[in-house]
Structure 1
Amino acid sequence: MRWDALFDDLAAQLAAAERAELTGAVADLTRAEHATVSLVERLRGAEGTVTLELRDGSRVTGVVRDVATDWVLVEEQQRQHLVPSGAVAAVTGLGRFARPATTERAERLGLGHVLRALMRDRRPVQVRVHTAAYPGWISRVGKDHVDLEVSPGARHGTRSVPYAALLCVSDSWPGGAAR
């Protein structure tokens, strides 16, 4: 009987050691997998409301509608905000889940593509930079900058904004006036 108890004890110790080793291996694999997840993938997996804290201290709060490598589109009630990925200082409200790109579109659609679509549609926008917010219409999209007109077709008052300075491009409120 003493032998049986000794063997049972050894078997229990071996099983506990195997469980501890497996738990450690799972923890290591989990940490390694988390290290491969990008913020863009976390934003794609967002459910509900998130808050993007921008480099200037301002915030954009809403539901993530679309995400690409270079930008995130957030909808706040009836207004949408296009935020360059590089303008994001922090995000609150993210869940634990991430979602990789399901198509190559997310890799191909850069910030310039979206800005050109806004230009083509002649939508009034508000362009926010660190020092101010400028209402107007996008008149030209260059390789590294966007031109903003104070009114459609205006030749005077055009402001050129480098992509690096962009914090957010918001559409105007319903009724046509950018705020």
Structure 2
Amino acid sequence: MRWDDLFSDLEAQLSAAQDAQFQADVSDLTRSERASIELAERLLTARGQSVALTLRDGEMVRGVVVDAAVQWLLLEAGGPQTLVPMRAVALVSGLPPRTSHVTEVERRLGIGHALRALARDRARVIVDFGVGEVTGLIAIVGADYVEVSTSVGAMSAVPIDAIMRVRSAMS
């Protein structure tokens, strides 16, 4: 009978509309989830992998991701390691397609923590501040600056916001 065909057709239309709504909901949820992902989460997933950074001053930095936190990234390029503040990064290439979540510890580890570790280790560093650089030991990490001991008694203060990268200096 034609009624059976009519109801079958209506059921098929309803099923197709429900499938379309489900797909739209999944797409919305996927976009919403992706919108909450921070760059640090993508970089944390890239640990052990090579990435290329373009810094805000136009310089390129390539290396393997050793560690990352919300405010900084540590790279190794087969030699000295480079600490890069996240706010100095303009472009990242080579990220893996997946992501991992930032832990509360990684969220709290600010750039000051990393700089204080370098000061504690008495590591000789090159602090690049975009228009120049200073080489020496980090003597003091203040609230918004670092003081670099360039020679006996000579100190240079660099605002943390000016730092583009901090590299290990060969002694």
Amino acid at match of 2:136: G
Distance 2:3 2:22 in 1: 28
* Residue of structure 1 in register with 2:78 after alignment: 77
> 1:116-172 CA deviation, whole Å, 9 max, x = no partner?
111121111111111123222212211111111224xx113x211000100100113
Q: CA deviation at 1:65?
A: 1.6
Offset at residue 9 of structure 1 (A)? 2.4
1:90 counterpart residue number: 91
* 1:13 partnered with 2:39: no
Aligned to 1:155: 153
| Equivalence for 1:110 | 110
AA in 1 matched with 2:153: R
The alpha carbon displacement at 1:46 in A equals 2.1
Q: Does 1:121 align with 2:121?
A: yes
Specify every segment of 5 or more residues in structure 2 that has no aligned partner in the other structure, as ranges: none
Structure 1 distance, partners of 2:80, 2:16, is 56
> SS where residue 63 of structure 2 aligns?
strand
Judge which range, 20-29 or 91-100, deviates more. 91-100
Q: Distance in 1 between matches of 2:168 and 2:105?
A: 22
Contact 2:53-2:61 within 8 A present in 1 as well: yes
The aligned counterpart of 1:131 is 131
Indicate yes or no: 2:59 matched with 1:61.
no
Give the SS at the match of 2:67: strand
Residue 3 of structure 1, CA deviation: 3.5
Deviation at 1:15, TM superposition (A): 1.6
CA distance in 2, matches of 1:8, 1:91: 53
Cα offset, 1:44, TM superposition: 1.2
Amino acid at match of 1:96: P
C-alpha deviation, 1:81, in angstroms: 1.0
Identity of counterpart residues, as a percentage?
A: 46
Amino acid at match of 2:76: E
Counterpart for residue 101 of structure 1: 102
CA distance in 2: counterparts of 1:109 and 1:27, whole angstroms: 34
Paired residue total: 170
Give a deviation string over 1:12-41, Cα, whole Å, max 9, x none: 222211111111010111111111111111
Structure 2 length normalisation: TM-score?
A: 0.90
2:36 aligned partner: 36
Provide the C-alpha distance between the structure 1 equivalents of 2:67 and 2:54, rounded to a whole number of angstroms: 17
Take 2:108 and 2:37, find their aligned partners in 1: how far apart are those partners?
Answer: 19
Structure 2 Cα separation of the partners of residues 44 and 159 of structure 1: 32
